[in-house]
Amino acid sequence: MRVLVVEDARSLAEVVAEGLRDQGLAVDLAFDGLAAAAKVDLVAYDVVVLDRDLPGLHGDTLCQMITERADRPMVLMLTAAGTPGDRVSGLTLGADDYLAKPFHFPELVLRVRALARRRPSAQPRTLRAGGLELDPVRRTATRDGRPLDLSVKEFALLEALLSASPAYLSAEMLLERVWDENADPFTNTVTVTIGRLRRKLGPPAVITTLPGVGYRILI
């Protein structure tokens, strides 16, 4: 899952981003509205966590711009303005959810995941293929009923492959969906993580590789 956090308070933005990354999400940051608008034009985000009072381009204007897009991300407004009137005005602008500061971080994670599931193109909550079953909310994964002990990135990689199944995902696409804008496009991170994931999944092989195309789950 790819998330954009738009927050001009850099310390808060970085704390939110690191917390979401610890949950296996790929997270980019923007510290003003103009930078965020540029990123939304370039990347297919699942969710945008958006502060309202932004420099450059106000969060309300950015929210309207995002919600007018055909294949838009879901928008969670995260702001200090938390009165009922503020929430109503934020939702009227097109935001899909509204969370006031200060907030409880586990609630933020649950709301972000819930919004991603509500996207028109979203997958069912539990992903299944090739004897694999993965629940992103409960953070559980099994193969033929056997629990899998996966790292954060291994779990996110398996989630991306299951979400795309039976289609192939290239290494570049996996870098975009599982890592973030800071990932080195020339790194072998995807290959290494795929190797670790295959070992943990065990035989028979369930992840296949097509040279020059990418990886997919056998079904």
pLDDT, residue 172, reads 87
Verify that 46 and 101 share a domain, yes or no.
yes
Verify that 177 and 204 share a domain, yes or no.
yes
CATH number at residue 105: 3.40.50.2300
pLDDT, residue 151, reads 92
What DSSP string describes 104-148?
-HHHHHHHHHHHHHHSTTPPPSSEEETTEEEETTTTEEEETTEE-
Entry pTM: 0.67
Verify that 111 and 34 share a domain, yes or no.
yes
Burial class (CB in 10 A: 0-12, 13-18, 19+), 56: middle
Q: Which of 72, 89, 118 is the last residue of a domain?
A: 118
In the chain, how many domains are there? 2
Going by C-beta distance under 8 Å and a sequence separation of 6 or more, which residues neighbour residue 219?
129, 130, 165, 166
3-state helix, strand, coil in the chain (%, to 5): 40, 20, 40
pLDDT, one tens digit per residue, over 35-47 is: 999 999 888 899 9
Verify that 80 and 131 share a domain, yes or no.
no
Verify that 137 and 100 share a domain, yes or no.
no
Instruction: Indicate the pLDDT class of residue 123, thresholds 50, 70 and 90.
Output: low
- Percent over 90 (pLDDT), the chain: 47
Give dist(CA 107, CA 84) in Å, integer: 19
Give dist(CA 90, CA 193) in Å, integer: 40
Q: Provide the 10 A C-beta neighbour count for residue 117.
A: 15
Give dist(CA 84, CA 170) in Å, integer: 45
The answer to whether 13 touches 57, Cβ cutoff 8 Å, is no
pLDDT, residue 88, reads 65
The answer to which of 63-67, 92-96, 107-111, 206-210 has the lowest mean pLDDT is: 92-96
Token pair of 209 as six digits: 């590789």
pLDDT, one tens digit per residue, over 8-40 is: 999 999 999 999 998 888 899 999 999 999 999
Which three-class secondary structure state does DSSP give residue 89? helix
pLDDT, residue 82, reads 54
Domain that holds residue 72: 2-118
Q: Which of 57, 87, 118 is the last residue of a domain?
A: 118
pLDDT, one tens digit per residue, over 182-205 is: 777 667 889 999 999 999 999 999
Verify that 97 and 166 share a domain, yes or no.
no
Verify that 131 and 113 share a domain, yes or no.
no
pLDDT at 79 over 90: no
The answer to whether 31 touches 160, Cβ cutoff 8 Å, is no
pLDDT, residue 50, reads 94
